[in-house]
A and B are shown apart, each in its own frame.
Chain A
Amino acid sequence: MNESTLFLIAFILYIVSAFFYFAFLFTKIKKSAQIGFGTVFVGFIFHTVALILRTVESGHAPFTNMYESLSFLAWASIIAYIIIEGKFKIRKAGPYFMLIVIALMAVASSPLMPKEATPLVPALQSYWLWLHVSVTLLGEAFFAVAFITSIMYLVAESKEKKGKKHSISSKKLDSISYRCIAIGFPLFTLGGLVFGMIWAYKAWGSYWSWDPKEVWSLITWFVFALYLHTRIVMGWKGRRSAFIAIFGFLAALFTYFGVNYLIAGLHSYA
């Protein structure tokens, strides 16, 4: 089996798991959620093998173009989700979360994304590629989970206001969002900013050039710094925090995706 087949199997399994998850949401049959989680896990194993195969075949890290990095981000998001699920048991977030993963996989497999592994351009030939990209994307994966739980918070809160009960309390969702950001923020700082600066200094001779990608990572960092300051110092919680977390993930997404297509700069690889 080659890499693209394994990728496709993983993609299909993720879609299947989303079906089971949504079935659980509507029927409340616990077994369905368990099957959903199991399917995600099997898909994740296929996905892992696909990434390993890609690395072996291409001889470089599996995130040097848009297709590879989207696939890797989807994979990292599953890791983030498995960790958060293991810790907080939020099965109800599963179906919504799988939508993000499926969206990432779908964009990755779209015909617009060149899929062939190309040899590395000179600037990317460095072990910093591994450190910089993988840690940054893992951080962003946790922001993705916080994004989902924040949206769920807004839904739960509006339900609770009307006196209805939501299956996961809004308070719990708020605290999970915070915990995700508490993991994602240090990872993003380390991978995106610190490792990025070190690599930029090694490759380009300056640690900071106000390149659009650099500026947008800084903007993302500022948004989450705002989240932490309003929350810890000023005691903001709930609705306002959820909005900042949502905005932060969108900023991260723009840093990762939008900058490449809308703004030209030094980071013209992926």
Chain B
Amino acid sequence: MKSILRFFSSVKLAIVLFIIITSASIVGTLIPQGQTLPEYTARFGQLADLFTRLQLTDLYHSWWFIGLLFFFALNIIICTLTRLIPKLNRTFKPKRVFEPKNINTLKIKEKFNKSWSLVKTKEALKKEFLTKHYRLHENSKENKTYLLARKKIAGWFGADIVHLGLITILTGGIISGIGGFKKNLTFTQGDILSVPQANFKLRLDKFETEYYSNGNVRDWKSTLTVFEEEKPLFSKIIEVNHPLSYKGFVFYQSSYGWNWENPSLEIWVKKRNEPSFFRKLNLKVGEKIKLEDEDLIFSVAYFIPDFFINEKNEIISRSLEPNNPAAFIEGWQENEKIFSGWIFSKFPDYARIHSQKETNLSFELKDFTAGNFSVIQAVRDPGVNIIWLGCSFLMLGLALAFYWPPREVKIILEESHGKTEVTAGGIASKSKDALQAEFETVMTSIRRLK
């Protein structure tokens, strides 16, 4: 048991763990995480199998990586505790009696005789140290008086508070991992969806995309209404960086898209030999419209937002973005198909129409409107407040460790023949120069006092 404790309390173990965790993390950034086996095989060939077996493809959630973090946490806890106990003793039960040899070995020290009584010298010293914000502990034994002046003692615990912060953060991480919940909710305008694991519902009232003048997206905004027991409670517009928080859930604007299943189209019909002829058709995919005076039935068979012909000569939509919208149109006369083909909204001159019968009509895909859907990510993360607490400890600890240097001054006073011998020494692990300066100011002013 003792040897296990000693093993975990060693800083060497911490350093070995630093190096192992760092190396493992680097590996995780070199192998793309969370892809499919075929993707790994394409990229790494035969290694793919080994990678999957060693869980290198989901490294940060693998049992061995989490095991390493667990060892690391254990190391931090035991390391900190073994060093904490002596420090607590030193803080709350400081040695109030010290030997002159304790002082003689210090680098910052001074010894002089003052032609005052012990009490008067002591009071003068106390006053000086108090004005410099030291706390004083006084003790008398036999014919000697011992003064212990200390300040910024909290600085001793800087590293411990940093470690406490790290353990808190790791704990928060575990709680997030176990109790956390994340789900995408896909809304089209007007939808009411119940939030999983919650007793309320959400309605998407409105979704809009705002653009900059150059066409880039400025923001996505979803207006959400919270429903409880079928009654609307309140509404909020959420956007990127401005989520909605309610009852432990947070709702984020995560993604968006178009619902291309049934867009409304606007098609302009013109006649090549008759410039005054113009018809505007508003229709949906599959809907048939009769052009009266032309004795023609017109319809749109398909609509594709991003027209593309792939290597196999198939027509596909390359994405769900309206990059190259195209409509496949058809025309009938008395149940006979007289033309069919693609028209493109961005390239009106490139219409690809096959005609069975001569026609002077031309068609342009002028406009299209599709419903948007908005993807809202619902998150419940019970660990997050613990993480923020841990971060506060972390920063407080760092501030104390680096910028709150503890100082201790030990003084022995001994009276003989009406004079007092002062033996004093200062201890500081950091900012020794600053303590030296302060120490010398105090001692010089005491010596000069008349």
Q: Residues on A close to B: CB < 8 A?
A: 118-119, 121-123, 125-126, 128, 182-183, 185-186, 189-190, 193-194, 197-198, 201-208, 210, 212, 215-216, 218-219, 222-223, 225-226, 229-230, 232-234, 259, 263
In the bound complex, residues from chain A placing their C-beta under 8 Å from that of B173 are 208
Q: Are the C-beta atoms of A230 and B241 separated by less than 8 Å?
A: no
What CA separation (Å) do A205 and B15 show in the bound complex?
Answer: 33
Contacts of A122 in B (CB 8 A): 217-220, 239-241, 253
Interface residue B370 (Cβ < 8 Å from any Cβ of A): no
Contact string against A for B residues 2-23, beta-carbon threshold 8 Å, 1 for contact and 0 otherwise: 0000000001101100110110
Decide if B15 touches A186 in the complex (CB within 8 Å).
no
Q: Which of B30, B182, B252 has the most CB atoms of chain A within a 10 A radius of its CB? A: B252
Given contacts A183-B402, A194-B394, A230-B15, 12 further A-B contacts (CB under 8 A): A119-B212, A122-B220, A122-B240, A190-B395, A194-B391, A197-B391, A205-B182, A207-B381, A226-B18, A226-B19, A232-B159, A259-B29
From B14, B212, B240, B252, contact of A229 by CB (8 A): B14
Which B residues between 159 and 184 are near A, CB-CB below 8 angstroms?
Answer: 159, 173, 176, 182
Give chain A's interface secondary structure class.
Answer: helix
- Whether A186 pairs with B252 at a CB distance below 8 angstroms is no
Identify which of B12, B22, B30, B252 contacts A204 (C-beta below 8 A).
B252
Give CA–CA (A215, B65) in the complex, Å.
13
How far apart are the CA atoms of A233 and B13 in the complex, in Å? Answer: 13
| Chain B: number of interface residues, binned into ranges | 35 or more
Can you show 10 pairs from A to B with CB atoms below 8 A apart?
A128-B241, A185-B398, A193-B391, A198-B391, A203-B240, A207-B384, A216-B29, A229-B11, A234-B11, A234-B15
B254 at the interface (CB under 8 A from A): yes
Asked if B241 and A123 make an inter-chain contact with CB atoms under 8 angstroms apart, the answer reads: yes
A180 to B26, CA, bound (A): 26
- Interface of chain B, main secondary structure: helix
B217 to chain A, nearest CB (A): 6
Contacts of A201 in B (CB 8 A): 381, 384
**Residues of the B chain whose Cβ atoms lie less than 8 Å from the Cβ of A232:** 159
CA distance A126 to B11 in the complex (A): 40
Nearest B-chain residue to A179, judged by Cβ: B402
Q: Evaluate whether A263 and B29 lie within 8 angstroms (CB atoms) in the complex, with A189-B395, A194-B395, A208-B173 already known.
A: yes
Across the two chains, which residue of chain B brings its CB closest to A118?
Answer: B216
Inter-chain CA distance A47–B212, complex, in Å, is 29
State whether the Cβ of B377 lies closer than 8 Å to any Cβ in chain A.
Answer: yes
Return the contact of B387 from the options A183, A204, A207, A215 (Cβ within 8 A).
Answer: A207
**Does residue B445 face the partner (Cβ distance < 8 Å to A)?**
no
State how many angstroms separate the Cβ of A202 from the closest Cβ of chain B: 6
- Residue of B whose beta carbon sits closest to that of A218: B25
Q: Whole-angstrom distance between the alpha carbons of A206 and B254 in the complex?
A: 12
The minimal Cβ–Cβ distance linking A143 to chain B, given in whole angstroms, is 15
